[in-house]
Chain A
């Protein structure tokens, strides 16, 4: 199979986008599970304002946690070089 007709820039751009989408989906799935678990303890007939506020804070803390872990892992990898 020849790659002669493939637009290299187009292919690279599409792959990067697909990877970004996959990452965002993983992020959302995890965030939803974690925050549901923390914030919705007795599922009622709707999400009350307390639950909504908790979910909002939880999302922010989730991102804080993710970023901190990302930095820590990076630092550890550098130490292990």
Chain B
């Protein structure tokens, strides 16, 4: 890895950019695997010849509701921490 103080060569810059992009892609992929893991359990009964409309709706809702849950918990957790910190002063 190049010395952090010296500027990157064009080649290093390009490789760095490539790695950052692949890292982001990999994170998105990991998220999708995670959603599929959870939502399969919630929505899929016995595997048939195709996904019926109800199952598709369930899977779509599952992803959105999971993200909503995640946002709600992050928000509320911040409040919990702030309350606790204010109480402890």
Number of A-B contacts (CB under 8 A): 87
- Residues B49 and A8 in contact, CB atoms below 8 Å apart: no
- How many chain B residues touch A (CB < 8 A): the figure is 36
CA distance A70 to B45 in the complex (A): 20
Chain A count of residues within 8 A CB distance of the other chain:
34
| B71 and chain A: residue at smallest CB distance | A80
Given that A3-B2, A38-B44, A58-B47 are contacting pairs, would A12 and B60 also be in contact in the complex, using a CB cutoff of 8 Å? Answer: no
> Which residues does B use to contact A, with CB under 8 Å?
1-2, 9, 11-12, 14-15, 18-19, 22, 25-26, 28-29, 31-33, 35-37, 39-40, 43-44, 46-51, 56, 59-60, 63-64, 67
Please give the residue numbers on chain A whose beta carbons come within 8 Å of chain B beta carbons, in ascending order.
Answer: 1-4, 6, 8, 11-12, 15-16, 19, 23, 26-27, 30, 34-35, 38-39, 54, 57-58, 60-62, 64-66, 68-70, 72-73, 76
